[in-house]
Amino acid sequence: MVFTSEKRFKTYTLLAIALCIPAFLLNLGITPFIGDEAIRALVAVEMMLSDNYLVPTMRGEFYFSKPPLYNWILIVFFKLFGEVNEWVTRFPTVIFSWAFTGVIWFFNRKNFDDRRQAIILAFTFLTCGRMLFYDSFLGLIDIFFSMVTYSLMIGCYLLVRKEKWTEMYAYLYALSVIGFMLKGLPILHFSGFALLIIHGMYGNWKLLYHKKHLIPLITAIGVLVLYFYLYNLYREASHTLNPLVDQAARRTILRYGFIDVVKHVFTYPLENIYHFLPWSLMGLLVFQKNIVERIKSNPYVTYVVLSFLLNFAIYWVSPEVYPRYILMLIPLIFSVWIYLYGFELGQHTLRMRLVSWIFIALTWLVPIIIASQFGNPRLAYVDGQHVKMMALVLSLAGLAVLYWRDQPNRPMIFVIYLLVLRVGFNVLIVPVRAVTGDDEYYKREATRIGRTYQDIKIFEDTQLNQITTFYITQQTGRITNKTADLREAKYFIVDSCAMNQFALIDSFPDASFCGTRWVVKGGKP
């Protein structure tokens, strides 16, 4: 791969790194939680309130859909910042997004002919659509889990390439334990396929029965057994199995009919092309006669292709999976795109011209679309919206010109283009989302209930959304648990099934159950 203008490339890289600060931190905490964010934060808060860091609960009840490692991480940040809110919950995600980008660069810096390819690869992951405009600003487990699993897959290969089998097994099972403590059973297929591919490529199958493999395996099992032993001191550990299995199998072929699976097989690849735009368009470069030979000529690319295909197949036959579940696979397939891109530079193949013209068209189309939104009434919620929109349009137009002129550095210029677009998203779109829509209303009402009724619990089997529960708990500083004993609190939350038993004193909407919840007087003096 031949790059020119190395000095300009370094300048673009430094500019991209600098832009990551406003792109990922600006207005990070002003929108209300989505459901899964509220679960992560609520479970962590209840651990702190109960002073029990081994047994996760939600609304005071047993919860083990996910092991507690990410909750521990959130607790560290909550205590470090001294508060529990959206910004603090999401800040670890930003840190892990940046760390994941660094990990991709670190592992790939020696795997390409030109080390700048590793920088481009790392930034293409960070700026793909799903990362840049969704997952990177949500307080969820998936980016950290994806970093762990990607590190597992690539790190194992690099160690075996150096014939460090003992270190590879220790490394694999150490990360497998971390992965299990984050999301449970899904780590197993990543670990299993890594072993299968590595031994398939390099042989040494007998090592699976050797102490080099067995000692790390037994140690990993021992660490998990120790955790569940400590867990069992408080609650029956066997009860954790069903939630873990349910989470692993919930959206798989085991829960859906044949028609659903067939439909998913056809639509899933197209969905992911959409979610990981614009860089997924570089997949057009695979349409060449000698693609198999070109991949097989590079052992590292062969490994990442096999790792991608085997792990992707699990999700390909599993209806209703979210794009964030495969974030660890995206750097694998993007590695192939960057590898092929290196061969295409300076060539005038139809596929290369097509990719080039699509990206050029995007650089001009986006500012035109943004400019067409001048006068959009929803932007009235944004202070100085016209100035901000004009600055964004002019910045993107200027970068479009630069993209056209500086052909050797187009990938990094487009990275900068996307980061500037994310800054514009932060200042124009996020503030509107923060003050409009149902989520803001649910948060405001739940916050009001928590502030007004400090000693409040949930009556019997009343259903209460996790978002509502979190904001009430945030205000009361107490676990909002379920109980049938009216003497335990001054106030209770009831639903329509129980409302006729009480004199109603207040009401509020519930986020996911599309109904009203009422506040009633309890028996506690």
- Of 343, 363, 381, the position where a domain reaches its end is 343
Q: CA–CA separation, 194 vs 154, rounded Å?
A: 9
Do 332 and 373 sit in the same domain of this protein?
no
Domain that residue 357 falls in: 346-435
Residues 98 and 139 in one domain: yes
**pLDDT value of residue 251:** 64
pLDDT of residue 524: 80
Give yes or no: residues 252 and 221 share one domain. yes
Q: Is 38 among the domain residues? A: no
Identify the CA nearest to 217 among candidates 184, 158, 248, 171. Answer: 171
Q: What would the 3-class secondary structure string for 249-304 be?
A: HCCCHHHCCHHHHHHHHHHHHHHHHHHCCCHHHHHHHHCCCCHHHHHHCCHHHHHH
Both 283 and 407 in one domain: the answer is no
157 and 124 in a common domain: yes
**Residue 45 falls inside a structural domain:** no
Helix (H) or strand (E) holding 126: helix 116-126
> Is the dihedral angle over the CA atoms 465, 466, 467, 473 positive or is it negative?
positive
Please report the beta strands in 402-514, taking only residues with DSSP state E, as ranges in sequence order: 456-459, 482-483, 491-494, 504-510
**Is 407 within the bounds of a domain?**
yes
Does 500 fall in a domain?
A: no
Residues 319 and 375 in one domain: no
Choosing from 377, 405, 435, the residue where a domain stops is 435
Is 97 within the bounds of a domain? yes
Write down the pLDDT at residue 513. Answer: 59
**Is 249 inside any structural domain?**
yes
Q: What is the pLDDT of residue 2?
A: 44
Which of 412, 435, 458 corresponds to the end of one domain?
A: 435
**244 in a structural domain:** yes
Residues 69 and 172 in one domain: yes
Residue 176 and residue 267 share a domain? yes
Q: Are 355 and 287 contained in the same domain?
A: no
Which tokens in the block code for residue 129? 């659509």
Instruction: Judge whether 71 and 186 are in contact, CB under 8 Å.
Output: no
- Does one domain contain both 243 and 110? yes
Based on the fold, state whether residues 111 and 224 are members of the same structural domain: yes
Structure tokens at 340: 């092929």
Amino acid 237: pLDDT: 81
pLDDT in tens, the chain (525 residues): 444 578 899 999 999 999 999 999 999 999 999 989 999 999 999 999 999 999 999 999 999 999 999 999 999 999 999 999 999 999 999 999 999 999 999 999 999 888 899 999 999 999 999 999 999 999 999 999 999 999 999 999 999 999 999 999 999 999 999 999 999 999 999 999 999 999 999 999 999 999 999 999 999 999 999 999 999 998 888 888 888 887 777 666 667 777 888 888 899 999 999 999 999 999 999 998 889 999 999 999 999 999 999 999 999 988 878 999 999 999 999 999 999 988 887 777 888 899 999 999 999 999 999 999 998 888 989 999 999 999 999 999 999 999 999 988 999 999 999 999 999 999 999 999 999 878 899 999 999 999 999 999 999 888 999 999 999 999 999 999 999 899 999 999 998 777 778 888 999 998 765 588 999 998 887
Q: In 212-248, which positions are buried (b, 16+ CB within 10 angstroms) versus exposed (e)?
A: bbeebeeebeebeeebeeebeeebebeebeebbeebb
Count of domains forming the chain: 2
Backbone angles phi, psi at 89, to 5 degrees: -65, -35
Please check whether residues 333 and 354 belong to one and the same domain: no
Q: Which letter does DSSP use for residue 374 in this model?
A: T
In a domain, 463, yes or no: no
